[in-house]
Structure 1
C-alpha cells in the first residue's frame, strides 16, 4: 500500500490510485507526478471529504483497490487538524490553576529541529509568534504553523484540505506565497478543495469529484473549461429559465447608496457619517463584533429601523421616502435573519415555506400557481432536500430550516439577498454547506448578497466588498 519514502528526487509518480472504492467514493484511475501541482475539487456532496480519509486510514476494512500507493514521507494538514489542536489546547488550559492566563503550548514547541529550520521559520514569517501560545495565533498563522510542522518532521509531499476556508484576501495571498515557496523547494503539493472559487492560478492539474466518483482529470485549463461547460441540473435549469424571463436591463445597477448615514438607539449613536454603496454583483461582507452596528445597518436598508427615513438612502436608484411603498421595496429584497427564523413557528411543510416567498408572508394564505409550485420544488432540489418536501418545517434540523428560509428569500429572484448572521447556530459542516450553496447562487447570478457576520472566518472569494464595523465608543 503505502510505499517507502524516497524523497522527490527521481520520483516520477508519487501518488497512484486504481479502482479504489471505500463504499462512499470511487476512483477508477488517478496518478500525480512530482513535477505537477494538483487540486482535487468537489462540492460537499461529491465525496470530497472521503478523499483525504483514504490517506488517513488506508487500512479501513471497507476499502478495496487494485492499487493505492503513496510515499510514507507525506503530511496532511486540514481544518480538522487545526480544530483538534485547538480543542486539545483548551482541554489543557490551566488558567484556573495559575494566577494568570495560560497561553498554552508555544508555537516553537510544534516545530522539530527549530535551529536547523530557522530559515524556513523566517520565510514563513512566524518568528514573531514563536513564543505565542497556539490559541493566540490567527487562523492563517496556525495554518502556516501546522504546514511548517509537518515539513520540519520530514514531509516531502503535502496534502492540504481546504486551506483557504476562513481566510481574508491578505491571508489568502500569504498562503499562495507559502505554496510558491514550497514548490520552489521541490515539495509536492496536492490541495483538496470544496469551493471552485478557491482553485488557485498556480495549480497545474485538476481532478474533479461528483456524486461519489472521480469524473475527470486533466490540466487546470481543460478541467476548468469542462466544469464551466457542465450543464446545470434540471432544477437549476428551471430556476435559470425563470430568471431569464425576468432579466434585468442594467447589469451595473446601483442597488444601495447610503450617504453620511447615521443611526441611533435612544441617546446612543450606533454609527455616524457612514457611506455605503452596493452595485449589482458586488457581493458584500459586513463583519464586526456584536453590538457594532451591522444589523442596524441592515435595518436601515430594509426599512426595519426607524432611521431608514431620516437618512439619505437610495434603493434601486430611488431615494427612500419619495413615495414608494414598503411592498415595492420588499419585492426587490430577500431577507433572512434570526428574527425571521424565530417567527416561523406556524404550521407548514418545507414546500409551503419556500413557495410563501412569492408572497412575502409567514405562512401560506394564497393559492400558488402550478409554475410557482414547480419552482419551489426546484429550489428543494438544488438544496438536496427534495425528500423533505412534506416534512413539517418545525421538525427539521436547524441547518435545514435555515437553508429553506434562504430558498424562500430567493424564489422571487430579488435584486438583493440580505443575510443577517445566516450561519448562527450551525456547526462547521453545515456552515460550510450553507456557504457553498451561496457560492452556487453567486455563480448563477441569481442575486446580489449583503452578508452580515460577527465571525472572522466566513470570507469567501465571491465577496467583492468587505465592510468591517467597530463599535462607536459610549458617549
Structure 2
C-alpha cells in the first residue's frame, strides 16, 4: 500500500518554566499506509495528542536527535510541515479551542465550505456542487439543522460536529481524530461512528485514512492497526488477538466507586422563577422554574445545544435573567443558620464555582499548576498576593488527593486534557465553595482519570457537604450521590420523578 506518513526514531521534549526537561514522545517509529485505519489508545497524558500534532506539522520533533518525519504526496516524500497540513485534516481540542475563542458572525455552512480552500472562514463564493456536498455531509451527521446557525451560538458538542463535517469536506488523504467523541451525546456519537464506518467502507477516490486516538472500547470494526501509547512510547497491539486486546482494555476500565456517608455543614439554595436567558436576542433558556434546596445534589440531563451550559452560567451570574424572571441565591453557614442572599458577583463567585470543558478551552493563563490552584482561593485568574503557610498546606493536600504531585511546577498549557481538568477542579475546590457547577466535567477523560475525579468528588461532597449540579448527557457520568434529576429540552426544564 502507498505510504502517507513515515516516522523514524521520533522524540519530542519540552521544558517547564523551571528548566525541567519533559519527554513527551520517546523514540517512536511509525508508518501510516493508505487505507490502513489506525487507533492509538492510552491514558490522558500518555502523549497521544502530541503525536497527532506532530503528524499534522503543528509542532516539530526535537532538533537534537529528534528523528525524522516524512509526508507523501503522489508518492513523493517531503519533510515540510506544509505538506503535512495539505494532506492531513485534524479534529482536536486545540482546533476546537481556536473556533470557540473567536467571535465571528459567520454560520456553520461557511465554516464547512471554507475547508475546500484550507481556510478557517470563507473568503470566496462557493459553487453549487460544494454547497450540496456540505449539506450532504451535515445530513449524514444528523446536523443539517445547524448549517445556518452562527458558530458563536453553538454548544461544545455542536461545534465538534461541525468540525467533523469540516474535516470530511476537506477530502484530505488523512483525517486525524483526537478523542473525537468527547462532548457528544450518545445519539450523536452513534451517528458519527456510522458516518466513519460508511466512509471507511466506501470506494470513493478521495476516501481518507483515519488515525483515531481514544481510550474507549470496543474499537470501531474498520480499524486495521492498533497501538498503545504509554509514557511517550508507542507499542503495536495485535487487534486480531482478542485476549491481547482484552488485556489492554482491562487497564482502562473504571475503578469501582466507594459509597461515603454525608455529614452536615454549609449549604446553598437556588430559586429560579420564570427564568429566561437570551443570547444575541435568541431565547436559549425558557421560563425555567427550579428550586434547588439545601443539601440537594442535582444531575441535569440534555442533548447538545439544549441550553444546559447557558443555564449554569445564569446560576453563576455570568448571564442575566431576562426581565419577568428572577433568581435567588441563598447561602447558609449551616443548616440551622438564617440565609444570606448573594447578589454581588464577587460574593457569588466565592460560594459557587464552575468546572467545564469550555472553561478549559478559554483558560489561557499559563502559570504553573501550583499557582493556578492557589489563585482559586480568591477566584482570580493569576496570582496577585503572597500565599500563607496554611494555604500552601491545603494546596499540597489537594495536589496529593488528585495525584498531581509530579505536575506541580508544570505550565498549564503543557498539560494533557485530563491533567488540565484535574487542575481546574482543584482550583474550584480550594476555596471551599458551597455549590459546584459541573458542566460535562468528564469530557475528554480516560476511564481511570474519570473515575478518579468522580471518586474525589464523592469524597468531597461527603466530607464538606459540598453541593453539586452535574450537567451531562451520559449516564456513566452521573455521580452516585445524586438525589435529584432534571432534564432540559430546547431550553425548557422538567423535573424527573
Cα deviation, 1:197-248, whole Å, max 9, x if unaligned, reads 477544634322222322454428534523535999xxx9xxx9xx9xxx76
Q: Does residue 211 of structure 2 align to residue 187 of structure 1? A: no
Q: Which runs of 5+ in 1 are unaligned?
A: 1-10, 94-101, 256-261, 309-335, 356-375, 389-396, 410-417
What is the aligned partner in structure 2 of residue 362 from structure 1? none
Are the counterparts in 2 of residues 421 and 451 from structure 1 also a CA contact under 8 Å? yes
134, 137, 141: which is aligned to 1:124? 141
What is the aligned partner in structure 2 of residue 164 from structure 1? 181
1 CA distance for matches of 2:142 and 2:251?
41
283, 287, 290: which is aligned to 1:271? 290
State the 1:40 CA deviation: 1.9
2 CA distance for matches of 1:70 and 1:51?
18
Are the counterparts in 2 of residues 270 and 292 from structure 1 also a CA contact under 8 Å? no
89, 96, 100: which is aligned to 1:75? 89
Are the counterparts in 2 of residues 209 and 216 from structure 1 also a CA contact under 8 Å? no
1 CA distance for matches of 2:144 and 2:251?
46
What is the aligned partner in structure 2 of residue 468 from structure 1? 487
Matches within 5 A, 1:254-265: none
Matches within 5 A, 1:398-409: 400=423, 402-403=425-426
TM superposition score normalised by structure 2 = 0.52
Are the counterparts in 2 of residues 18 and 30 from structure 1 also a CA contact under 8 Å? yes
What is the aligned partner in structure 1 of residue 229 from structure 2? 209
419, 433, 452: which is aligned to 1:440? 452
What is the aligned partner in structure 1 of residue 130 from structure 2? 114
SS of equivalent residue, structure 1 residue 114: helix
Are the counterparts in 2 of residues 78 and 161 from structure 1 also a CA contact under 8 Å? yes
What is the aligned partner in structure 1 of residue 414 from structure 2? none
Give RMSD over aligned pairs. 5.8
1 CA distance for matches of 2:460 and 2:186?
20
TM superposition score normalised by structure 1 = 0.54
Q: Does residue 55 of structure 2 align to residue 55 of structure 1? A: yes
Matches within 5 A, 1:251-400: 271=290, 284=299, 287=308, 289-290=311-312, 338=353, 342=377, 347-352=389-394, 379=401, 381-382=403-404, 384-385=406-407, 400=423
2 CA distance for matches of 1:104 and 1:201?
28
Alpha-carbon distance change, 347 to 151 in structure 1, aligned in 2, over 3 angstroms: same
Are the counterparts in 1 of residues 10 and 61 from structure 2 also a CA contact under 8 Å? no
Alpha-carbon distance change, 387 to 304 in structure 1, aligned in 2, over 3 angstroms: farther
2 CA distance for matches of 1:226 and 1:40?
12
Q: Which runs of 5+ in 2 are unaligned?
A: 14-23, 74-85, 117-128, 263-268, 276-287, 302-307, 318-326, 340-350, 355-375, 380-386, 411-419, 462-466, 480-484
SS of equivalent residue, structure 1 residue 163: coil
State the 1:37 CA deviation: 3.3
Larger radius of gyration: 1
